[in-house]
Amino acid sequence: VVPTDGRWRFNPEALDPTIDAVVWGRPSQPAGAGMPSAACSALRREIALWRARHAPTGRFRPAGVHRISGTAIAGGAKGRALRALRAGALVGLTTPDAGPRLLDVIAEAAGAATLRGAALRLGSGGAALARVSLIDGTQALLRMAPAGSPADPAPTALRLRALAATGVDRIPCLRGIGETGGIAWTAESVLPGRRPQRVSLTLAQDAAAFCARLPAAGAAPTAPGEDLAAVAELLRDHATALRRLAGEVERSLGTVPAVLRHGDLWAGNLLVSGGCLRGVVDWDAAHPLAMPGADLLQLIATERRRRKGLTLGEVWLQRPWRWPQFTVVTESYWPAVGLRLTGELAELLAVAWWATETSGTLRRLPHRASDGRWLAANIDPVLAALA
Ligand SMILES: Nc1ncnc2c1ncn2[C@@H]1O[C@H](COP(=O)(O)OP(=O)(O)O)[C@@H](O)[C@H]1O
Ligand SMILES: [Mg+2]
């Protein structure tokens, strides 16, 4: 594996002559990279990829050229342009007697026509995603990660299959699942629609109607306690306060009926067309025994964070569970789950949502646990306000 520099140069002559397979390239640029630097890198990248496809590279032949899509918080045309400019790429080169590539073996096992030129996306959880055409002509999204790692897509895929069996629609349908050479993979249907540029009131109401159909359990929610315990495990200095909070929340949750949550509900995981909700994707953070309404609080608060560039702590201190917008969006949700939005329920929602967000962030980015600025922005002020 040879990472190249920002000029996208790669010299196969410098490699050990016994090597029969090499992957070279660069990851995508971070979301902070501005237009000029992204445009310059994109130009060099395209020249390098053209050469990789067309100019001979010593004893190697191109086995696959993959763009790695970049990140952009913005939606719409601007977001698409930034994602394309910031993209990274991987070029796989092999000698004629090298064995088949793992990616191609997985593609074949999944029933995909080919993966040779597929764009890859590195999911925030650590899985690689590729959109492929299946042999029956339909499109599927392939998710791949080391089996048993936190990014292993199999548990989520099985949960989605169970969810589809309860009649919930607008979720990806599992088309294949397997393990090849230590890599767990799943293939899911590609849902119609696009990531919305913004979450309008109607879209949020659509999401509320969707959430109202997620299965309820005849038990109290356990997710808030589990999330707080997971955070306490990582934040030793705050462990006592977090465990006390978990105890209080657990006692108050006794009469609340748990529901299945999405757990990461924001514009980036919605698909929309004609202003209507067409799909809800990325179910990694789902939990069957969660706090009703927490997904919707997350949707509304995250939208505000995105628009105003706020931290979780900043938006939490604005108490979004008291915003008129939250009341309007959840108006028909509460009767559907047999609850009424009281002050007490709203306070429980506030803790449940914050616990989901912080445990999710610490699971994906464990180094945040020792990042003083992150703690001062998102943990300290919330715990102080709750105390
Ligand atoms: N089944 C699907 N159908 C259509 N688009 C999808 C599907 N799954 C994911 N996507 C798109 O790919 C993007 C990334 O997938 P996601 O599972 O959200 O990964 P992550 O958030 O970890 O990067 C989503 O924001 C969505 O736009
Ligand atoms: Mg996502």
Each residue's pLDDT tens digit, 333-383: 999 999 999 999 999 999 999 999 999 999 988 999 999 999 999 999 999
Residue 50 alpha carbon to ligand 1 centre in Å: 28
> Which run of H or of E encompasses 311?
none
pLDDT at 165: 95
Q: Which atom of ligand 1 lies closest to the CA of 271?
A: 27
> Are 322 and 355 in contact, with CB atoms under 8 Å apart?
no
CA distance 360 to 184: 22
Residue 286 alpha carbon to ligand 1 centre in Å: 15
> Are 292 and 335 in contact, with CB atoms under 8 Å apart?
no
Confidence class of residue 73 from pLDDT cuts 50, 70 and 90? low
Cβ–ligand 1 contact at 281 (below 6 Å): yes
pLDDT at 13: 82
Residue 82 alpha carbon to ligand 1 centre in Å: 17
Q: Which atom of ligand 1 lies closest to the CA of 189?
A: 1
Mean pLDDT of 153-181: 95
- Asked if the model's pLDDT at residue 96 lies above 80, the reply is yes
Which of 124, 270, 281, 364 to mutate for ligand 1's pocket (most ligand atoms within 8 Å of CB)? 281
Confidence class of residue 119 from pLDDT cuts 50, 70 and 90? confident
CA distance 82 to 102: 30
Which region among 54-58, 80-84, 137-141, 322-326 has the lowest average model confidence (pLDDT)?
54-58
Q: pLDDT tens, 13-64?
A: 888 888 889 999 998 888 777 788 888 889 999 999 999 888 877 888 888 8
- Asked if the model's pLDDT at residue 99 lies above 90, the reply is no
- Asked if the model's pLDDT at residue 74 lies above 80, the reply is no
Confidence class of residue 75 from pLDDT cuts 50, 70 and 90? low
- Quote the DSSP letter at residue 22: E
Cβ–ligand 1 contact at 191 (below 6 Å): yes
Residue 191 alpha carbon to ligand 1 centre in Å: 9
Distances (CA, A) of 172 to 25, 132, 279, 316: 31, 15, 8, 31
Cβ–ligand 1 contact at 188 (below 6 Å): yes
Q: pLDDT tens, 185-197?
A: 999 999 999 999 8
Residue 85 alpha carbon to ligand 1 centre in Å: 19
Facing residues of 3 across strands?
25
Q: Which of 184, 259, 230, 250 is nearest to 361 (CA)?
A: 230
Assigned token pair, 140: 């599927």
CA distance 185 to 329: 37
pLDDT at 69: 86
Residue 281 alpha carbon to ligand 1 centre in Å: 6
Helices (H), 22-134: 35-54, 76-85, 102-110
Confidence class of residue 234 from pLDDT cuts 50, 70 and 90? very high
Which of 80, 83, 124, 129 to mutate for ligand 1's pocket (most ligand atoms within 8 Å of CB)? 129
> Are 281 and 210 in contact, with CB atoms under 8 Å apart?
no
Which has more confidence, 10 or 214?
A: 214
- Asked if the model's pLDDT at residue 307 lies above 90, the reply is yes
What whole-number percentage of the chain has pLDDT above 70? 99
pLDDT at 54: 87
Helix, coil or strand: residue 179? strand
Q: Which atom of ligand 1 lies closest to the CA of 127?
A: 22
CA distance 306 to 266: 10
